[in-house]
Amino acid sequence: MLEFDLKIRSRDIGTLVNSIQANDSEADVETVKRAYYFAEEVHKKDFRLSGEPYIIHPLEVALILSSLKMDIQTITAALLHDVVEDTEVNLDTISEKFSKEIADLVDGVTKISSIKNRSKTVAQAETLRKMLLATIKDVRVIIIKLADKLHNMRTIMFQSPEKQLAIAKETLDIYAPIAKRLGISAIAAELEDLSFVVIHRDEYNSIQKKLQQKQNEIQIYIETVKEILQNKLSELNISAEITGRAKHYFSIFRKMKQQNKDFDEIFDIRAIRVIADEIKDCYGILGVIHTLWTPIDSRFKDYIAVPKSNMYQSLHTTVIGPGGFPLEVQIRTEEMHATAEIGIASHWLYKESNKRKKRDHKNHPLIKDINRLQADISSPMDFLTGIKMDLYEDEIFVFTPRGKIMKLAAGATPVDFAYAIHTEVGHHTVGAKINNRIMPLKTKLNSGDIVEILTSKKGHPSESWLKFVVSSNARYKIRSYLRKQKKTEFSAQVTDKTAPPPVKRPPKEAPSIEVTIPQNETEKLDKLKENNVQSLSIEGESNLLIKLSQCCQPIPGDDVIGFITRGRGITVHKKTCPSLQRLSAEKERFINIVWKESSNTYPVKIAVHATDRPGLLKDITDEISQADTNIIKAEANVKDKSNADFKFTIEVKSNDHLNKIITKLKKIKNITDVSKLNEKVMLNR
Ligand code: MN
């Protein structure tokens, strides 16, 4: 308790300002000071359970965020994070006094904490859902929330014992896994240790005691190792920083439990970390270490080539170190180290170093998962189950027949694997070979398995797959396929009864196109056949799946070019398609493609702008149906008399066909413009 008192009491706004300025000497500390004094004033009647003035809490949260080198907006919002919930001040005031951005951050944090008086599990699920949804909008909200949780856990001893237990369990269940998944391992580790003390106090004390007894001995050992390695590296002119590494208590405990081992048997108590200048040095250093000491084969992991799903990168090896002790080594670059320690928060570091590329955190795997899940799942409990699966399951690594590594959740089946490759592969899976033997689709895969998916155009997802798939991705894709299937059957029944007009049902599969591949390209394709798509067997003569790209939606008559994708056949783009620029780095994968005569039709979307008048819509639809085409879908948006926008999805045979329709439509009275839209045409796929 004494230690705690000293730590808190000695810190004030000056501490925060110093910490911010150490990161960025030009930071706008005036705003931070203003927020601090404002929060101090409005919280002046509030006290923490510790008896201290309330302002200590937001200050500590801000300090945690400053140590993560977060930006000024985040730190300011942290100072204000409890103002709206606990005082009379509202968001408008914060917006006026500070900024909309800061008010939005405060709002996000407030919303997460505002769920109370519900049954525990539902409330927990709801908290988690809100928190994750906030993450999509602005991930800084969740980083503030995690810092908030961390300070509350640091001061948990002021709560009643029952509350301590409940809070610690929730932290271990929800907050620590999210921090881990976002890669903020510094916070994740501390949250786990703080919960661990509360939940398993005896085990914690015992590990702590054992660690303390060993500390001296280990320190001397690590110094020896550092010296040997440093000398060898200098000889070879490789510069690197070598540090000892403290393991956190909970991870030792977890390993003892998982591997059913005693404290003394746990490997990685003697551990060092090497920070290299460049990636190539990492592998060089690994080589040096493996010549100095014998590696334990089974313990080598290359997370640089295959990053973990929270973007963690590093080389891990365990060697028999001096004196015969196992020595665990992590090797990585400075940038990888930042990602390892603070994960997604490292995205705000680029101000400091121009070298660091700006990465879009919308592409972070967790954020993608959340986006996907929330689009499909409405109940908080389903959401919780879905996301928990992604947060908690361990991972396995399996291979495609071409040797590509795929990362899957433990317990994954060939169906999970198929969906991880591509939705279309998943949808058309009919069988699987595991290590060259045909196996049932529900077989659980093991790390190292080589998996080959057998597909057929006639294959389609089955309800029974839901019983064994483990990835939320596969589950979501199967469910939405089945749901759409039901809808189509239903609407087909309805149209049958209400008779006219008999709208042709849109095709179930992507329209397959007839193309001729010019002679000089066949050699390229033969090669492709040899080493491509062995993981997919595709029906038909060409052996290659040809698909029209969704981005520019070419139709016969358009000037097109094919692009050989990795394992997904050929996609056909218009020569004017902007996405070709992105692909142009790999020129050798382009092939020429020409249209063949065919009677196929293609769905396209057109936009019609007009000034509204009675009977206009009827005139348009009449004109379209006279042009020998089907309307698959029509949308109208009449804002006022002078502004009517329509969107039609129609089936056309070719570019010429489409142009004829457009010309005809343009002649209709009151129509001001008609154009083709390059929007996704979603059929019932
Ligand atoms: Mn708080």
Residues 6+ apart with CB under 8 A from 298: none
Mapped onto helix, strand or coil, the DSSP state of residue 533 is coil
For the chain, percent helix, then strand, then coil, each to nearest 5?
A: 50, 15, 30
Distance (angstroms) between ligand 1 centre and the Cα of 57 equals 7
Start-end of H helices in 10-70: 13-23, 29-42, 56-67
Phi, psi (5° rounding) for residue 475?
A: -55, -45
Give the model's pLDDT for residue 500: 42
Region of 464 on the Ramachandran plot (φ > 0 left; ψ -120 to 50 alpha; else beta): alpha
Residue 612 alpha carbon to ligand 1 centre in Å: 55
Q: What is the rounded CA–CA span in Å between residue 454 and residue 666?
A: 49
In this predicted structure, what is the pLDDT of residue 211?
81
Which residues lie closer than 8 Å to 458 by C-beta, 6 or more apart? 430
Cα 540 to Cα 426, 428, 512, 521, 537, distances in angstroms: 19, 14, 11, 19, 10
Model pTM score: 0.54
Rounded Cα–Cα distance for residues 188 and 251 (Å): 11
Strand partners, 562: 572, 591
CA dihedral sign, ordered 180, 185, 189, 195? negative
For residues 286 and 280, is the Cβ–Cβ distance under 8 A? Answer: no
Q: What is the DSSP string of 131-175?
A: HHHHHHH-HHHHHHHHHHHHHHHHTGGGS-HHHHHHHHHHIIIII
Q: How far apart are CA 568 and CA 400, in angstroms?
A: 13
Strand order in the sheet with 429-434: 437-439, 429-434, 451-455
| Residue 455 backbone phi and psi in degrees, to 5 | -120, 160
Spatial contact of 414 and 434, defined as CB atoms under 8 Å apart: yes
Q: Which residues fall within 8 angstroms of residue 191, CB to CB, at 6 or more apart? A: 146, 149, 150, 153, 171, 172, 175, 176, 179
Q: φ, ψ for residue 474 (rounded to 5)? A: -65, -45
E strand or H helix at 520: helix 519-531
**Cα 668 to the chain's mean position, in Å?**
48
| HSE-CB for 559 with a 13 A CA cutoff | 3
Distance (Å) from CA 155 to ligand 1 centroid = 12
- Both structure tokens of 322: 């001096």
Confidence at residue 465, expressed as pLDDT on a 0 to 100 scale = 93
417: how many CB neighbours lie within 10 A of its CB? 28
The environment of the single-atom ion ligand 1, i.e. residues with CB closer than 5 A, is 82, 148
Q: Are 151 and 64 in contact (CB under 8 A)?
A: yes
- Whole-number Å distance between alpha carbons of 657 and 671: 20
For residue 408, the cross-strand partners are 396
At 259, list the tokens: 């591997």
Q: For the range 63-67, what are the long-range contacts, defined as Cβ-Cβ under 8 Å and sequence gap of 24 or more?
A: 63/11, 63/15, 63/16, 63/19, 64/147, 64/150, 64/151, 64/187, 65/143, 65/144, 65/147, 66/16, 66/19, 66/20, 66/23, 67/19
218/327 Cα distance (integer angstroms)? 11
**114 CA to middle of ligand 1, Å?**
12
Cα(162) to ligand 1 centroid in Å equals 20
- Reference 511, options 427, 602, 594, 573; nearest CA is 602
- Integer Cα distance of 233 and 284 in angstroms: 9
Burial of 14 from C-beta contacts in 10 A (0-12 / 13-18 / 19+): exposed
pLDDT of residue 59: 95
Nearest Cα to Cα of residue 146 among 157, 132, 161, 158: 132
Q: How far is the CA of 58 from the centre of ligand 1 (A)?
A: 6
**CA 392 / ligand 1 centre spacing (Å):** 26
* Surface-to-core class of residue 216, CB atoms within 10 Å of its CB (0-12 exposed, 13-18 middle, 19+ buried): exposed
| Cα–Cα distance measured from residue 191 to residue 235, given in angstroms and rounded to the nearest whole number | 42
**Sheet of 631-640, strands arranged across:** 631-640, 643-652, 602-610, 671-677
For the chain, give the longest Cα–Cα distance.
93
CA of 136 to the centre of ligand 1 (A): 21
CB neighbour burial string for 648-676, b if at least 16 within 10 angstroms, e if fewer: bbbbbbbbebbeebbeebeeeeebeebeb
In one-letter notation, the amino acid at residue 607 is A
3-state secondary structure 327-363: EEEEEEEHHHHHHHHHHHHHHHHCCCCCCCCCCCHHH
CA 350 to ligand 1 centroid distance, Å: 28
CA gyration radius, the chain: 30
Q: Distance between CA atoms of 498 and 505, rounded to whole angstroms?
A: 15
Q: Label the pairing between strands 326-333 and 315-320.
A: antiparallel
Q: What pLDDT was estimated at residue 80?
A: 94
Q: Known catalytic residues?
A: 85-86
Please give the Cα distance from 429 to 441 (Å, whole number).
9
Closest to 377 in 3D by CA, of 387, 368, 367: 387
Give the pLDDT means over successive 10-residue stretches in the chain (685 positions): 48 88 87 94 86 90 92 93 86 92 89 54 63 69 91 90 89 83 86 92 86 81 92 90 81 77 69 91 92 84 83 89 88 88 70 44 63 55 56 66 74 93 91 85 83 87 91 86 76 45 41 53 55 33 60 75 70 78 70 66 83 80 78 74 80 84 88 79 43
